[in-house]
Structure 1
Amino acid sequence: MEMKKRINMELRNRVTELVLDNCLCVNGEIEGLNDTFKELEFLSMANVELSSLAQLPSLNKLRKLELSDNIISGGLEVLAEKCPNLTYLNLSGNKIKDLSTVEALQNLKNLKSLDLFNCEITNLEDYRESIFELLQQITYLDGFDQEDNEAPDSEEEDDEDGDEDDGDEEEDEAGPPEGYEEEEEDDDEEEDEDEAGSELGEGEEEVGLSYLMKEEIQDEEDDDDYVEEGEEEEEE
């Protein structure tokens, strides 16, 4: 076996995600995908003009399958045989018209989320109620559960939990002790009051001193006038 072929085989065995969106297939069949991709956990084949799933290889580890915007109208029983552990399936934008077509998904026991956006089946009366009754293993249909609660993103939930835990720890470690800010503000207010009081006192002292100095000057001027008047009377 050539080295290049051997390396390619090893790489294929380790691939867990494969996106083939917009890669048009011939005659509506899956091409080039075989059992060497047995480690796949996520496979996306959106908008590839796919009409048949007959050539889908066995992918026992596959959890999420994206098949949106194709021309699939049936043959969904292949999924339970080839991908028995699917938890998420997106068939939005295909040619699925009736409940009998979807009934084949009952054998996907681990299926939790199913998307059928823009399929003709969504125009049926009591569409959501019928699907939830038919596929009792699913929790979310078109992104919402039976109570119209939106499906959470598992990755976002993990990130949010991690961020919340980190935030609490950082706040506990780096945050100031309780009452610290209040005490500091009280001290600042007292200092401001003391400064204002001292400035007021200094101003009052200056006013008092200037007033006393004016009085002394006035007294001296009055004494000088009195002496001058006495001297004039003596001379007369």
Structure 2
Amino acid sequence: MEMKKRIGLELRNRDPAEVRELVVDNCRSADGEVEGLTEEYTGLEVLSMVNVGLSSLAKMPSLPKLRKLEVSDNTISGALDTLKEKCPDLAYLNLSGNKIKELSSIDTLQNLKNLKSLDLYGCEVSTLEDYRDTVFQLLPHLAYLDGFDQDDNEGPDSEGDNVVSDDDDEEAGPPGDDEEDKDSDSSEGEEDEVGLSYLMKEGIQDEEDDGDYVEEDEEDEEEDGDVQGEKRKREAEDDGDDDEEDDDDE
């Protein structure tokens, strides 16, 4: 797919000024130049054009906010002076796998004062004697070359994903605090639940006991009533017997 068409597809009907990252890897430049990218992309910060057949960056539009440029696996051999004018805020530049042979080709990168990481791995220039020491002397503001600093310590991810700020550490607190808090909260919750269950069971038992008492009282009343009824019946029978005896005497 042609670069111009690919950029149009990646735009997805957005306003070019709103685009922050644009990746058009493995498409094809018709004449070895940047195509389809205009100065309307004023907010662009990350641009990746890997393996698109670029031989020059001369037609790169002005991208004042561009911080990261990936143009590895192309055929760029020089003419990097345009980057100072078009991408003055550039901090990360990947030129690995291109046709850069001489250190003089990267002299102009001295003008990119914010450039912290440069990748020339796979370029012929990286095979020169004292290559690393020479590049660090040539670009004193450079922090990482081909992924390593001047002391051969590996650099961080270019996006800074693995960097953790001190504020984050403070907010996070000492390890294990959260687990202890969760344990204490859960134990307190269990105690509350047990206590509540106990009280509810006690209340239910009390109600059941009250019901037993009521039933017993009713049974007692019924028994008292039966006893009193029997007593009255016996008294009535006794009165009847007495009356019969009086009649016989007469």
Say yes or no: TM over 0.5.
yes
Q: Which amino acid aligns with 2:178?
A: E
Any gaps of 5 or more consecutive residues in structure 1? 1-6, 177-236
Q: Give the number of aligned pairs.
A: 171
Distance 2:89 2:56 in 1: 20
Q: Does 1:173 align with 2:181?
A: yes
Question: What is residue 222 of structure 1 aligned with on the other side?
Answer: none
After the TM superposition, which residues 134-153 of structure 1 pair with which residues of structure 2 at under 5 Å, given as runs?
134-153=138-157
CA shift for structure 1 position 157 = 1.6
CA shift for structure 1 position 166 = 3.5
Q: Aligned pair in 2 of structure 1 residues 161, 172: CA closer, same or farther (>3 Å)? A: farther
After the TM superposition, which residues 81-230 of structure 1 pair with which residues of structure 2 at under 5 Å, given as runs?
81-153=85-157, 154-158=160-164, 162=168, 166=172, 168=175, 170-171=178-179, 173-174=181-182
Q: Aligned pair in 2 of structure 1 residues 161, 48: CA closer, same or farther (>3 Å)? A: farther
Question: What is residue 83 of structure 2 aligned with on the other side?
Answer: 79
Question: What is residue 235 of structure 2 aligned with on the other side?
Answer: none
Q: Aligned pair in 2 of structure 1 residues 128, 95: CA closer, same or farther (>3 Å)? A: same
Q: Does 1:52 align with 2:56?
A: yes
Give TM-score, length-normalised by structure 1: 0.67
Distance 1:9 1:35 in 2: 17
Any gaps of 5 or more consecutive residues in structure 2? 1-10, 185-250
RMSD: 2.5
Q: Aligned pair in 2 of structure 1 residues 94, 173: CA closer, same or farther (>3 Å)? A: same
Task: Report the identity percentage.
Answer: 57
1:110-167 per-residue CA deviation (whole Å, 9 max, x = no partner) reads: 0000000100001100000000000111000000001111111211224998589547
1:151-208 per-residue CA deviation (whole Å, 9 max, x = no partner) reads: 11211224998589547352463366xxxxxxxxxxxxxxxxxxxxxxxxxxxxxxxx
Give TM-score, length-normalised by structure 2: 0.63
After the TM superposition, which residues 21-60 of structure 1 pair with which residues of structure 2 at under 5 Å, given as runs?
21-60=25-64
Distance 2:170 2:180 in 1: 12
Distance 1:132 1:25 in 2: 33
Task: Tell me if the contact between 1:9 and 1:36 (Cα under 8 Å) persists in the aligned partners.
Answer: no
Task: Find the residue that maps to 1:105 and give its secondary structure.
Answer: helix
Query: Which protein is bigger by CA-based radius of gyration?
Result: 2
